Amino acid sequence: MHVLITGCSSGFGKLAAEEIALEGHRVFATMRNPKEQNSEAANSLSVAKNVVVLEMDVTSEVSVENAVNQCMARGGVDCVIHNAGIGVDGVAEASTTEQFARILDVNLLGVHRLNRYVLPHMRARRSGLLLYISSGLGRTVLPYLASYCASKFALEAYAEALGYEVILHGIESVILQPGAYPSEFRSKILEPDDVERLQGYPVEHEEAVRINALTNQYLSSEAAPDPHDVTNAMLKMIEAPPGTRPMRIALRRDSGGLKMINQICSEVQGAMMRGMKLEHRLPARPQL
């Protein structure tokens, strides 16, 4: 299978590119600035068997189109793993509208931007897999991560709605919901850019800093979950027979509550779809 992965400069993206390629799949590992700030990751991946490193900024229409055209020239794309993502950790009011928009541009609009270029090819072949890396914070929320939560809630809504639209074209959608895992993602989380507004929340700012420090301490300890849980789930979905893939998979270590939310939402959604005579668009296995 030919797999395009976004955000391969670090974290789940880089690990997924390595692991999926090892299993014999052709991987298009995309990232921003592979010849500059991400050259180390790009050079590491480019020497791996079955990996082609391509430049792609998911916020740029031209960049996405160029990368997809290169993939098509190399045999096409069977699966897209929407992995690229950023976040802001801090009081929501202290993020400017422009900063909030930046989060949505990467985490949501970038996904749609890429889908618009790959879906025509998948529809023509009547097959394909769209794999979305969401979060447990795409169903539940925490303070100080408002823009990230909002982007992931929006991503889940988009992925599910689009999934119903493309399923009769042979294209399947799967949403993975990891919790916090050790990765470079947390080291790249942005801080709110309006320092003046932040001064109005001294207690909340201190609490946000404390929670962030405790989370980082946990993720650097032996008790931290294994990031391979997530990449293994990606690989399992890639290699699963069409028609057997669930729409959502909760991967958070304490995912009992998340699975319960998913199940309840699935039942309500299914009832609504059946009420609208759209049951033929429901996946065979909605949740795991």
pLDDT digits (tens, 9 = 90+) for 55-103: 999 999 999 999 999 999 999 999 999 999 999 999 999 999 999 999 9
Query: Which residues sit opposite 177 in a β-bridge?
Result: 250
CA dist., res. 207 & res. 281, Å (int):
45
Buried b (16+ CB within 10 A) or exposed e, 20-29: bbeeebbbbb
Quickly tell me which residue has 């001064």 as its tokens: 199
* Whether 187 is catalytic: no
CA dist., res. 106 & res. 100, Å (int):
10
pLDDT confidence of residue 69: 98
Domain span including residue 6: 2-287
CA dist., res. 39 & res. 69, Å (int):
22
* Whether 134 is catalytic: yes
Within 16-137, strands assigned E span: 26-31, 51-55, 79-82, 128-133
Which one of the listed residues 117, 148, 181, 201 is annotated catalytic? 148
Cβ–Cβ under 8 Å, residues 90 and 198: yes
CA dist., res. 20 & res. 270, Å (int):
33
Cβ–Cβ under 8 Å, residues 67 and 55: yes
- 188: CATH: 3.40.50.720
Cut 0.85: pTM above it: yes
* Whether 152 is catalytic: yes
Torsion on CA atoms 5, 84, 16, 260, rounded to nearest 10:
-110
pLDDT confidence of residue 192: 96
Question: Which residues of the chain have a pLDDT value below 50?
Answer: none
Which one of the listed residues 9, 135, 147, 173 is annotated catalytic? 9
Which one of the listed residues 152, 173, 183, 255 is annotated catalytic? 152
| Total of domains in the chain | 1
CA dist., res. 111 & res. 106, Å (int):
7
* Whether 10 is catalytic: no
Quick one: tokens of 30? 């995309």
Which one of the listed residues 95, 117, 132, 134 is annotated catalytic? 134
Per residue in 163-188, pLDDT (tens digit) is 999 999 999 999 999 988 887 777 78
